[in-house]
């Protein structure tokens, strides 16, 4: 149910966002205009869209708007986040990023120095990953009609074999690092609680050098990859099996969460599974290659990569398309795609 | 001079915008990361960037943010404008649009009905021009932190021979229709003067069916094409010869301006040459083909296309890289790239 007004839950990245996109956007386009050049587009709702450009390769394009508040936070800023986030959407599609375009919208009166800091962060991520900045746009909105800065980013990558969500029973589910760090940090900042929760830091980070080489090498055995940003692990795992004759079974005690993050979220009664990360990936891999993939991730620098569960073919029809969490005490619960309804997390 | 704070003139699309982009963005990237895949990017600052994707073709990508206020205006709305504007940036690069991505940012509490109207307009433009909508993003910002809706659009097109600005002495300068209609309409709306100035209507319109076929057919004789949006004809003509050993000479009495537009702008003392259009193109063509191009434009439906001037090699060094306007009474003036400093025109 969308209702008569757009609310913040519609932008939280969960199933409500999917409903808005499907009902208000996708439904307005005829199916034959959901994709272009023999690629994929609205037919799959992945992090990026693909276009076949020659016999060997696809171009992969991803686009995201960044509205995070505060603009500067422990571990990063909106510029770092925009560049990292857009590149990561290409990485999880198994695409090597080659180009980026930035659309900056700035409130009149915004300090040039802050804008320069943001652009320093954004361009540093691009340079370190050998990604060209090929164009963009610059707009100013009158004072009071925009809170600070928003950045829209378009990323362009190349892939011989883009990754499209195709999990199979028995596949193992890997996370490449501790979860919920970005969301917990932004939440603490928005609540004015950064001092009471020392050690919180966003994990905003491009995965081009650490995760992409592993996805490229093991592409034939990797059946899905996503970055659990808006909506956190909960939404990503639910989308993985949504509408399929499969379920995901994860073990809560195996999901890595740093102590500072856990304590802060516990105090607020928030499940870290619902909280966004900006520097990790979820990788779904054939069981025969799981230990090799974990080892390769460790070697590339993702030293905390770990298996948290698996894809199963459920016997009980009630859990089809759902995510089951084994609790620390051995019970099982169903994990709803229930994103933390936190505005301006990214 | 940028100064310590970003002001609305920096977003007006003129040379101040170019200065911000060059000083704050381009300068932060090493030259070897200004372009990707043997294409063009920050090295030329055109409406779109190109990437060579195979032996025969380039991919052309354009990106723009739309922040227009009011969201609905005579002749269009922000959705119509976003789709048309992004497609037109491809058209003037001689690229055939194949795909579009939309990034929607919506203020919490925004009426669903208005959002649907905007999406109707946007998708109608795409459908009518056979352009696929392949992906995008949807974000919500808290009430008070964004005024209504902004849309970022990314357009993807294909071109065998992209048009890069390369005017030559003797070339004729064509406009495909009357100028300043969009800017005059938005200005009237923002000033609450639409009733006093009846007949004003934005020219927001995709040029895919009317102008693109002509550019494609006469590509080898067309040396530049641009859509005079932010900054109007003045900025586009100045950019055409900026830094070159050339000048543009236009005849003011030949520049088409509808009577309603002229009267409204005259009353405010605003030169229509400084005011944005959203449904016309400026085309610079070899003199030997000018009448054919004009005829072809008329045939495709641009019945008011007309020659307004020419590119010259100036003898007087003071006018190198400048635009000279012959007035109605025979005098000559230099046209400064002086965009009307009007916020949220597109």
Q: Does A44 touch chain B (CB under 8 A)?
A: no
Give, in order, the Cα–Cα distances in Å from B38 to each of B41, B51, B57, B271, B343.
10, 6, 11, 40, 36
Contact between chains at B152 and A63 (C-beta distance less than 8 A): yes
Q: Does B41 touch chain A (CB under 8 A)?
A: yes
Tell me the DSSP string of A75-96: TEEHHHHHHHHHHHHHHTTT-E
- Comparing CB atoms, the residue among B5, B123, B137 nearest residue A29 is B123
Q: Does A27 touch chain B (CB under 8 A)?
A: no
Contact between chains at B28 and A119 (C-beta distance less than 8 A): yes
- Identify the bridge partners of residue B64 per DSSP, sorted by sequence position: B153
Other CB atoms within 10 A of residue A1 CB: 5
Confidence of residue A44 (pLDDT cuts 50, 70, 90): confident
Radius of gyration of chain A (CA): 19
Confidence of residue A12 (pLDDT cuts 50, 70, 90): confident
Cis peptide before A80 (omega within 30 of 0): no
Handedness of CA A23, A25, A29, A35 (dihedral sign): negative
Q: Which residues of A touch B41 (CB under 8 A)?
A: 99, 132-135
Other CB atoms within 10 A of residue A113 CB: 10
Would you say residue B174 has pLDDT above 90? Answer: yes
Q: Range(s) for CATH 3.90.650.10 in chain A?
A: 172-334
Tell me the DSSP string of A165-203: ----TT-EEEESS--SHHHHHHHHHHTT-TTTSTT----
**Cα–Cα distance measured from residue B156 to residue B86, given in angstroms and rounded to the nearest whole number:** 9
CA torsion angle A130 A135 A141 A145 (round to 10): -50
**Residue matched to tokens 């084994």:** A326
- Comparing CB atoms, the residue among A30, A41, A103 nearest residue B152 is A103
Interface of B with A in 115-174 (CB under 8 A): 115-116, 119-120, 123, 126-127, 130-142, 144-147, 150, 152, 154, 156
- Phi then psi for B162, rounded to 5 degrees? -60, 150
Q: Which residues of A touch B5 (CB under 8 A)?
A: 109-112
Strands A96-107 and A132-141: parallel
User: What is the mean pLDDT of the segment spanning A143-154?
Assistant: 95
Confidence at residue B328, expressed as pLDDT on a 0 to 100 scale: 83
- Comparing CB atoms, the residue among B33, B63, B127 nearest residue A101 is B63
ipTM: 0.93
Closest-approach residue (CA) in chain B for A3: B112
Closest-approach residue (CA) in chain A for B9: A140
**Cα–Cα distance measured from residue A295 to residue A177, given in angstroms and rounded to the nearest whole number:** 13
Which pair of tokens denotes residue B204? 């927001």
Closest-approach residue (CA) in chain B for A68: B141
- Where would I find the H helices in chain B? 15-20, 78-91, 112-128, 181-190, 212-217, 232-241, 259-268, 290-300
Confidence at residue B235, expressed as pLDDT on a 0 to 100 scale: 92
Would you say residue A339 has pLDDT above 80? Answer: no
pLDDT tens column, A206-220: 999 999 999 999 999
Q: Does A61 touch chain B (CB under 8 A)?
A: yes
**Cα–Cα distance measured from residue A88 to residue A121, given in angstroms and rounded to the nearest whole number:** 16
Q: Does A102 touch chain B (CB under 8 A)?
A: yes
CA torsion angle A130 A136 A142 A144 (round to 10): -40
Q: Which residues of A touch B152 (CB under 8 A)?
A: 63, 65, 103, 137, 152
**Inter-residue contact A198 to A260 (CB < 8 Å):** yes
Distance from CA of B315 to the nearest CA of A (A): 35
Give, in order, the Cα–Cα distances in Å from A182 to each of A133, A178, A228, A259, B188.
25, 10, 11, 14, 45
Contact between chains at B24 and A110 (C-beta distance less than 8 A): no
Tell me the pLDDT of chain B averaged across its residues.
Answer: 94
Tell me the pLDDT of chain A averaged across its residues.
Answer: 94
**Cα–Cα distance measured from residue A26 to residue A130, given in angstroms and rounded to the nearest whole number:** 34
**Inter-residue contact B315 to B322 (CB < 8 Å):** no
Confidence at residue A303, expressed as pLDDT on a 0 to 100 scale: 98
Q: Range(s) for CATH 3.30.1330.10 in chain A?
A: 34-159
User: What is the mean pLDDT of the segment spanning B118-133?
Assistant: 98
- Comparing CB atoms, the residue among A37, A134, A145 nearest residue B41 is A134
**Cα–Cα distance measured from residue A266 to residue B140, given in angstroms and rounded to the nearest whole number:** 26
Which pair of tokens denotes residue A70? 């505060």
Hey, what CATH topology would domain A172-334 get?
A: Phosphoribosyl-aminoimidazole Synthetase; Chain A, domain 2 (3.90.650)
Confidence at residue B342, expressed as pLDDT on a 0 to 100 scale: 73
Strands A323-326 and A247-251: parallel
Q: Which residues of A touch B62 (CB under 8 A)?
A: 135
Please choose, from the candidates B17, B58, B14, B15, the residue with its C-alpha nearest in 3D space to the C-alpha of residue B35. B58
Would you say residue A342 has pLDDT above 80? Answer: no
Confidence at residue B14, expressed as pLDDT on a 0 to 100 scale: 82
User: What is the mean pLDDT of the segment spanning B224-252?
Assistant: 95
Crossing angle between the packed helical segments B259-268 and B181-190, to the nearest 10 degrees = 50
Q: Does B316 touch chain A (CB under 8 A)?
A: no
* Burial readout B58-89 (b: 16 or more C-beta within 10 A, e: otherwise): bbbbbbbbbbbbebbbbbbbbbbbbbbbbbbb
Q: For testing the chain A interface, which of B1, B139, B141 should be mutated: the one with the most A CBs within 10 Å?
A: B139
Q: Does A266 touch chain B (CB under 8 A)?
A: no
User: Which element (helix H / strand E) includes A215?
Assistant: helix A212-217
Which pair of tokens denotes residue A298? 């460790």
Give, in order, the Cα–Cα distances in Å from A124 to each of A119, A133, B28, B33, B118.
8, 11, 8, 12, 36
User: What is the mean pLDDT of the segment spanning A209-236?
Assistant: 96
Distance from CA of A258 to the nearest CA of B (A): 28
Q: Which residues of B touch A150 (CB under 8 A)?
A: 105, 141, 146, 150
Dihedral-angle region of residue A180 (phi above 0 means left; psi in -120 to 50 means alpha; beta otherwise): left
**Quick one: chain A helix, strand, coil %, rounded to 5?**
35, 25, 40
Other CB atoms within 10 A of residue B27 CB: 11
Q: Which residues of B touch A51 (CB under 8 A)?
A: 59, 98-99, 134, 156
Between A76-85, A260-269, B145-154, B332-341, the lowest mean confidence (pLDDT) is in B332-341
Would you say residue B339 has pLDDT above 80? Answer: no
- Phi then psi for B113, rounded to 5 degrees? -60, -40
Q: Which residues of B touch A7 (CB under 8 A)?
A: 108-109, 140
Q: A345 in helix, strand or coil?
A: coil
Closest-approach residue (CA) in chain B for A31: B132
Contact between chains at B61 and A134 (C-beta distance less than 8 A): yes
**Cα–Cα distance measured from residue A119 to residue A114, given in angstroms and rounded to the nearest whole number:** 9
Residues in chain B: 346
Closest-approach residue (CA) in chain A for B37: A98
**Residue matched to tokens 């200004």:** B34
Interface of A with B in 206-235 (CB under 8 A): none
Other CB atoms within 10 A of residue B164 CB: 14
Which pair of tokens denotes residue A57? 């390769």
> Given this structure, which CATH class describes domain A34-159?
alpha beta
- Comparing CB atoms, the residue among A51, A116, A135 nearest residue B63 is A135
Would you say residue B16 has pLDDT above 90? Answer: no
**Cα–Cα distance measured from residue B22 to residue B16, given in angstroms and rounded to the nearest whole number:** 10
Tell me the DSSP string of B211-230: THHHHHHTGGGEEEEE---T
Would you say residue A341 has pLDDT above 90? Answer: no
Which pair of tokens denotes residue B325? 């306007």
Contact between chains at B11 and A106 (C-beta distance less than 8 A): yes
pLDDT tens column, A165-196: 999 999 999 999 999 999 999 999 999 999 99
């Amino acid at each position: 149910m969308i209702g008569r007004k757009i609310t913040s839950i519609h932008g939280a990245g969960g199933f409500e966002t999917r409903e808005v996109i499907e009902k208000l956007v996708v439904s307005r386009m005829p199916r034959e205009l959901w994709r272009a050049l023999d690629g994929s587009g609205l037919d799959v709702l992945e992090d990026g869209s693909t276009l076949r450009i020659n016999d060997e390769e696809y171009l992969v394009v991803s686009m995201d708007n960044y509205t995070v508040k505060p603009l500067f936070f422990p571990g990063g800023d909106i510029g770092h986040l925009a560049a990292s986030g857009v590149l990561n959407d290409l990485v999880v599609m198994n695409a090597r990023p080659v180009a980026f375009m930035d659309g900056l919208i700035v409130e009149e009166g915004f300090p040039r120095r802050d804008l320069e800091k943001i652009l320093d962060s954004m361009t540093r991520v691009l340079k370190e990953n050998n990604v060209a900045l090929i164009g963009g746009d610059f707009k100013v909105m009158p004072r009071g009609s925009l809170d600070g800065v928003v950045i829209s980013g378009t990323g362009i990558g190349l892939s011989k074999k883009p990754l499209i969500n195709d999990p199979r029973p028995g596949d193992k589910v890997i996370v490449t690092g501790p979860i919920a760090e970005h969301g917990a940090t932004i939440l603490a900042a928005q609540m004015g609680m950064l001092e009471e929760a020392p050690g919180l830091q966003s994990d905003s980070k491009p995965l081009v050098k650490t995760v992409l080489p592993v996805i490229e090498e093991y592409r034939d055995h990797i059946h899905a990859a996503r970055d659990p940003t808006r909506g956190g692990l909960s939404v990503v795992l639910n989308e993985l099996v949504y509408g399929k004759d499969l379920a995901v079974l994860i073990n809560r005690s195996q999901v890595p969460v740093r102590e500072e993050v856990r304590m802060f979220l516990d105090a607020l009664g928030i499940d870290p599974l619902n909280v966004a990360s900006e520097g990790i990936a979820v990788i779904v891999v054939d069981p025969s290659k799981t230990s090799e993939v974990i080892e390769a991730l460790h070697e590339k620098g993702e030293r905390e990569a770990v298996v948290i569960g698996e894809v199963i073919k459920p016997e009980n029809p009630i859990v089809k398309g759902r995510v089951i969490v084994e609790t620390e005490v051995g019970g099982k619960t169903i994990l709803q795609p229930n994103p933390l309804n936190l505005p301006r997390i990214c």
